[in-house]
Structure 1
Amino acid sequence: MADDITIHSLAETERTPAELAQLFNTAFGEYEGVVYFTPETMAWYVARPGLGREHTFVALAGDQLIGGVMVTCAPVVLGGEPISCGIIDSVMTLPTWRRRGVATRLMEHALAWMREAGLESSLLFTVPHSNGHRIYTRLGYIERATVSYYFALPAPRGKADPRLRAAVPGEEERVRALLNTWLRESDGYVPVDPGLWRWRREERPHELPCSVFVLEEAGQIRATGALCTTRVQLSSRPLDLVVLTDIAGDSPETREEMVRALLRRVPPGYGVGMLAGSHDPVLRALGEKLGMSCQDEVAMVIPFHPRAEGLLDRQPTGWYTLAESLIGV
């Protein structure tokens, strides 16, 4: 039973990224579209700004690692304004320990920790009607949006666009500023500060390459987007996948044009993935128009503070799905 386990921060143990990666791959191996973690990619992920070994909690049964949860402290836009938030990722339990209260114990520990840390809210993603969804609902989380994971193999053809080019190193700060401008009112968005940008761009492992592109017209950047390459599990087999992320622009039209242009950069033989949300009609409509398959999850939130409760009374005017939380890239 869960009474027989103990919960510790990763920093309080000698558990390695390799052990955490093995736990993750075992716990989520049956799920579609999930990234396969290596020790190197897990070490990078745990080093995510606001996470670290101190905010990664593990469940031990004696000396056996049986579960874990990650809590990233970051500002997240809710109700159109950034608010301090604990982003819950990777609530994982070994299959042999499921339905024994481990996930509930981990989440209760994480919730107590977030409240004590003074965070105003928490955000997580889960599959509707799943056991996890029932646990989170019982603990007080409420649904905020539907998030859609579109994918296709082969990739849709796309459309060549002479305005598309790779961002050069000297202008990446400009791209970061544009992302923060264009997405600043989209619920779910994490404003990108220099530390988060550096982690995403400079510190990422070679197994997870990512390239940033811009759509430039008459010297003006009209849209941005990124191609992140990874390996996921789809239809019970590994698949090399290019994920389109951080699609932003100065109009709905330029966002669609950016997606179509990026599709032409997907290597032959690779699948393609794209994230959208229920309050992002542009990308959802485009995913359907392109004939991509869709897997839905829900974003759930819980307020810890009256300010958060007030912001959650507002309807989202847009939605941003955090790729490192939903997929792991």
Structure 2
Amino acid sequence: MPEYRLVDFTEVPDAMLQVAELSNSAFAEYEGAPTIDAAFAEWYLRRPGSTAELCVGALDGETLASMVLVALQPVQLGGRVLSCGIIDSVATRPEHRKQGLARRLMDMAHERMREAGADAGVLYTNPEDHPYQFYGRLGYQTRAMCMLMRGSRPLDRELPVREAEPAEHHGLASLINGFYDAHEGYAPLDEELWAWHKLRRPAGMEARVMVTEVEGVAAGTCTWSRIELLLGGETKPVAAMVDFACIGDVCPGPKALESLMASAPEKDIVVLVDAADPLADVYGSAGLERVVGEVSMVLPFSEAAHAAMASRSGPWYVMAESVIGV
């Protein structure tokens, strides 16, 4: 049995390459999982709120056998904004499984998060896979039942759509923040988070912020990214839509959505949504269908987090970067 060293990422050699190799190995058969490379890992580890001290791993010699990636961000929960440790990529190489590494690393990550002032931990997982039960045993509570939906790019659009100009980004961030103001799980877009999400993407995964207009007014927006996902047992390129938002008084959601969907950079379109969110019905009306289930889970640490869990402010905003890496 190997003798593992539990370390933070200040001690992981060739971290970018090892994160990519471990992720691809661990999630090779997981429906909806992305295929990543070292450039993607470098971008992902620069996620606002993520530090080498918060991310932890188990080393077998110099090999990263298991990992837990963490980013600390302000997240809306129960009608308030709390500091949450967002846990991503709980992954173990197949040959190192059943050694208790995930449990030990999660305990380590929770300790680091608490020391950094986190009110709660947040993560996503497939409710039909073993990790769902594992997280429940750690104390995580299911907060929302979500899903990955898939559809096809429409041939026609009713409204004009164009790529947003840099000068419009601040206003679009305000539009998106307002649209998701009551959603739980949402991290409000500030300048740093916008830049990471939209501007500083790795080559081949550039984000395109789109705008649809009504009489010269930016009435709707979404962001497109290309990524390869495992869907139906086959890895294929898709256009992932995130941060759809619209001004309902100017342009109804279905009209804005279908016009924006026609601008997708790939024929296949995917989007993540809370199954209880009215947006799910809007997406369904546009031809998108559920393909994979996903749940959001929360582990409250502080009194404020426990109080927040007693009420709900609205549906859950699914962080696409935590589920499909965009």
Same fold (TM over 0.5): yes
1-structure distance, mates of 2:139, 2:269: 35
Structure 1, 179-188 or 136-145: larger mean CA deviation: 179-188
Which one-letter code corresponds to 1:94 in the other structure? R
Deviations 1:211-246 (A, max 9, x none): 111222234332221111111222332211001110
Residue matched to 1:322: 319
Residue of 262, 265, 271 corresponding to 2:260: 262
**How far apart are the structure 2 equivalents of 1:158 and 1:292?**
18
The CA deviation string for residues 268-322 of structure 1, in whole angstroms up to 9 with x for no partner, is 6x32101110331223452366152421111000111111111111124122111
- Write the deviation string for residues 188-216 of structure 1: whole angstroms up to 9, x where unpaired: 11111111111122211121021111222
Residue type at the aligned position of 1:8: V
Q: State the partner residue of 1:78.
A: 77
Helix, strand or coil: the match of 1:11? helix
CA offsets per residue over residues 162-213 of structure 1, 9 Å max, x none?
2432211111111111111221221011111111111122211121021111
Deviates more, 1:46-55 or 1:259-268: 259-268
Does the CA-based 8 Å contact 2:221-2:260 persist in structure 1? Answer: no
Q: Against the structure 1 CA distance between its residues 255 and 98, is the aligned structure 2 distance closer, same or farther, given a 3 Å change threshold?
A: farther
CA contact (8 A) 1:121 1:304 kept: yes
CA contact (8 A) 1:279 1:316 kept: no
1:211–1:226 contact (8 Å) kept in structure 2: yes
Gaps of 5+ in 2: none
Distance 1:291 1:299 in 2: 21
The SS at the match of 2:252 is helix
Kindly provide the amino acid, as one letter, of the partner of residue 148 in structure 1.
M
Secondary structure of the residue that 1:33 maps to in structure 2? coil
Contact kept, 8 Å, 2:253 with 2:282, in 1: the verdict is: no
Point out the more displaced range, 207-216 or 81-90: 207-216
Q: Distance in 2 between matches of 1:190 and 1:228?
A: 19
Match of 1:205 among 202, 205, 214: 202
Question: Could you tell me whether the CA contact under 8 Å between 2:156 and 2:259 is conserved in 1?
Answer: yes
Q: Which residue, out of 238, 241, 262, partners 1:241? A: 238
Indicate the SS of the match to 2:291: strand
Per the alignment, residue 269 of structure 2 pairs with 272
Shift in Å, 1:56: 1.9
Match of 1:170 in 2: 167
- The change in CA–CA distance for 1:132 and 1:170 in structure 2 (over 3 A counts) is same
Dislocated runs of 4+, deviation >4 Å: none
SS in 2 for 1:54: coil
Tell me what 2:149 maps to.
Answer: 150
**Code of the aligned partner of 1:217:** V
2:229: which partner in 1? 232
CA gap 1:12/1:237 in 2 versus in 1, 3 angstroms: same
Q: For the residues of structure 1 that align with 2:282 and 2:91, how far apart are their CA atoms?
A: 32
Paired position in structure 1 for 2:13:
14
Aligned to 2:248: 251
Query: What is the SS of the residue equivalent to 1:53?
Result: coil
Letter in 2 for 1:203: R
AA aligned to 1:271 is D
Seen in structure 2, the aligned counterparts of structure 1 residues 212 and 97 have a Cα distance that, compared at 3 Å, is: same
The residue aligned with 2:108 is 109
Equivalent residues of 1:68, 1:90 under 8 A apart: yes
- The number of aligned residues is 325
Structure 2 match to 1:125: 124
- C-alpha separation between the residues in 1 aligned to 2:278 and 2:50? 31
Q: How far apart, CA to CA, are the structure 2 residues paired with 1:254 and 1:85?
A: 33
Secondary structure in structure 1 of the residue aligned to 2:276: coil
The 1:286–1:309 alpha-carbon spacing in structure 2 relative to 1, beyond 3 Å, is: same
Deviation at 1:248, TM superposition (A): 1.4
Preserved CA contact (<8 Å) 1:276 1:284? no
State the superposition RMSD in angstroms: 2.0
For residues 185-224 of structure 1, the aligned pairs below 5 Å read 185-224=182-221
3-state SS of paired residue (1:172)? helix
Q: Mark the CA change 1:29 to 1:284 in structure 2 (over 3 Å): closer, same or farther.
A: farther
Q: CA deviation at 1:41?
A: 0.9
Question: Sequence identity of aligned pairs in percent?
Answer: 32
Change (3 A) 1:280 1:159: farther
* Alignment-mate amino acid for residue 27 of structure 2: F
Deviation of 1:9 (Å): 1.2
